[in-house]
Structure 1
Amino acid sequence: MSHRNARLTVFGRRLLVERVRSGRPVAHVAAEMGISRATAHKWVRRWRTEGDAGLHDRSSKPHATPHRTPATVEAQVCRLRTGRKLGPARIGPILGLPASTVHRILVRHGLNRLAWLDRPTGQAIRRYERARPGELVHVDIKKLGNIPDGGGWRTVGRTAGDRNRQATTTERKNSTPVIGYSFIHSAVDDHSRLAYSEVLPDERQHTAIAFWQRANAFFTDHGITVERVLTDNGSCYKAKQFTRALTAAGITHKKIRPYRPQTNGKVERFNRTLLDEWAYLRPYRSNDERTAALADFLHTYNHHRCHTALNGKPPISRVNNATGQYT
């Protein structure tokens, strides 16, 4: 890509070459186009040597960097980063390097952000993505406190919020109203990030099985054949009936290693998006109002919201049969 102050684009370079080919002096053409004679001669020379391909931008990266930090020193920097979680300002004095040099080394090795490391082991978190929709679907449950009718204390204040809690439920625990919880069951396709969610009253095995059957129908309607499902080790997913329901549909059930939620990271990250862009987006006046807003959020997420992992495109852009044009 040309730098922001570049006089010539690829089109301008072609125009330069065409004018020179017509017999006009290079110096005259350079003056007309507001560039130096040396620059004009450079592009003409590249065109004569390489043809039209020579007019395109090329990397300015040098072929060799003889003054680059030795590999042994870079290895020491990486060991201090992964082993002791030190930053550039602390690694630099230990090794006698400027902090800026340490930072460039960490960037080169993908260690410049601690969020990219597994904190207990210091190893870089391995990112992966399945090759096609349906190859793997992540499933998880998010627990949310219910909202009393009329709004909770964060919306209407302590006094009115307590009054709403009293009026919404007759269930009590130590004279305190029990509003309860909602459980958001979610399924996210690994390749496309297409998501399906429902607000359900519990996280029991039969509820989880019924949710998955509806989620599977959702993916099928979008032309996605699910091959494997990945879950955590929650009791509803450890139940034999859940695995049997998947097996009956020709789906393999995989469970993550205990205490390793990163493995199920795509749906975990989706849960955070659910909180930010739906559950806590605005103060809801009731649980039903919040539940009703989920459908609009899912449509926006799947069809319109840009996803950074998809180069700014929505999940539906990666679905094989997004518009139903083929079977």
Structure 2
Amino acid sequence: MGLAELSVMEQRFHAVMECLGGTPKTEVAARYGVSRQTIHNWLARYAADGIKGLEDHSHRPHVCPHRVDPSTEALVCELRRDHPRWGPRRLRFEAGRRGVTPPPARATVYRILRRNNLVPAVPRKRRREDYRRWERPEPMELWQMDIVGGVLLADGTEAKVVTGLDDHSRYCVIATVVRRATGRAVCAAFAAALTRFGLPGEVLTDNGKQFTGRFTTPRPGEVLFERICRENGIVARNTKPRTPTTTGKVERFHQSLQGECLDDGRVFDTVEQAQAAVDLFVAEYNYDRPHQGIDDAFPADRFHRPTPGRNQVELHAPKLRLPSGLLPTAPPAPRTPPAVENDATSVTVSTNRPQPVQLVRVVPPSGNLTVAQQQVWLGPTLAGTPVTIWVDTDRLHVLTADGARIKSSASRLSQRDLARLLADGGTPAGPPPLPQPEPQATAVEVDRVVNACGGITIAGRQISVGMPLAGQRVRIRLDGILLHVIDEAGQLRRILRCPLPPTACGRIRDARPASPIPPPAAAPTVERVVSITGSIQVAGQRIQVGVVHARKLVTVALDEHNVTVYDADTPIKAVPRRSTTDLNRTKAKHQITTANGG
């Protein structure tokens, strides 16, 4: 007969029956491997509840003196339901503001939210100790700036917000809504903050083209933002590429801005309406919202607190230097179109052909002139020069003060743009300075920038125009037979075979009627030292001038067909040019050693 296995409850019942049968409790406790007090507990539970009293009971205490008060738990849940984006730290702070003393711990608030299913269970993130945190010791030492999108407008476009935060206090100094985040719009927002708050010591940004030109191709240059920082003594710092955590403070501000002000696909009718909503959020963020990164202090308290020596620095701060026209001198007033005077001798202009507009502009230092959102490249050499603009909806001409044409290009302006230019000080223009080409004329010209390899691209075709023109803006004239390369000085540099047929020249993008062919440039001259074998090398072609001229410094003139070698002013050698290699240097590399005469 096999042994039967008894459950725990059955063993307890047998122990109780033995005790009730008269067996000493000490002997029963030893037999079942428990203490004598446990036998007494089993007997008391059996006497009170019968056999059900021998079941396992919970060890949970009936009273927990340190359990959070139910009213506090209800307050936390109510705050969470009213503000779904508030976390445990913010809820703990708000509970303290509402008189809960002492406020519950952050972990306690989190358990309350989990117990009431107000937050989902998420895996633990990276530990805070793993991040390298840094902060400037005083306000106005460093600003962090960036650009964020997500501002949806009723017309289907998306506006941007130029943002800036003080590194020490987290005070928002810039929150400007712009329709397009161009370099000038970003600098206008930056200049307005400088005018309001003063000059910070440093500004930290990412590597966007609005902030830095160090990655601009083909040559790095200084952008307007860097110029403003340089002229006002502000150190402009940029993050390492692809490291957004360096500007983590302003990136965290973007998360709050998008989550609490621009969430749920909110659509604004105008940019002004979006700016008003952002201003309300910034006011709450600066003055009524505790910041967890600064021990739940308010950003305004840290930004405006008195700092020893700060008033003296602001008193002796240099005058703010900004480019002209960056900030409006007065609030813009609504413009009205100029009154049109009826003249009996005037000619009625058809509405199908808008009246052209003429205006005067000064070329900026960058050489990139803007006419009603259309950019016209004129080059830094014309910086500060007043020019006359003749423009309609088809063509745009740039003229000098005496009427000489500098450049012509296709116009991208609409009738509304012309009306705006007319209201901004423009005048009705006369006939175009460049007559329309005859229908049979096929010659056109385009502007191109020569790349570092000496090539250009026209209609998808790569054309080599020469290394000496690398980086220059040249004018290419095509007539279907020949291709003329004209440099910035207006001189003819090269004549090549046209790669396009005459019928395809008129379909080139940005093509315009060609101007007359300029005279050829003067033949370039270079210097060479004759080797001991009596030879020189010019443009990839070796020329033997004779051993009698060894160690002499000679001058070489090159044109499209011939190479002429001169000793002083006397020609000593002339040969046909057989190489198409461009000149790379014009001066002789070697020094001439002359023996003492004896």
Structure with more of its chain in strand, by fraction: 2
TM-score w.r.t. the length of structure 2 is 0.28
TM-score w.r.t. the length of structure 1 is 0.50
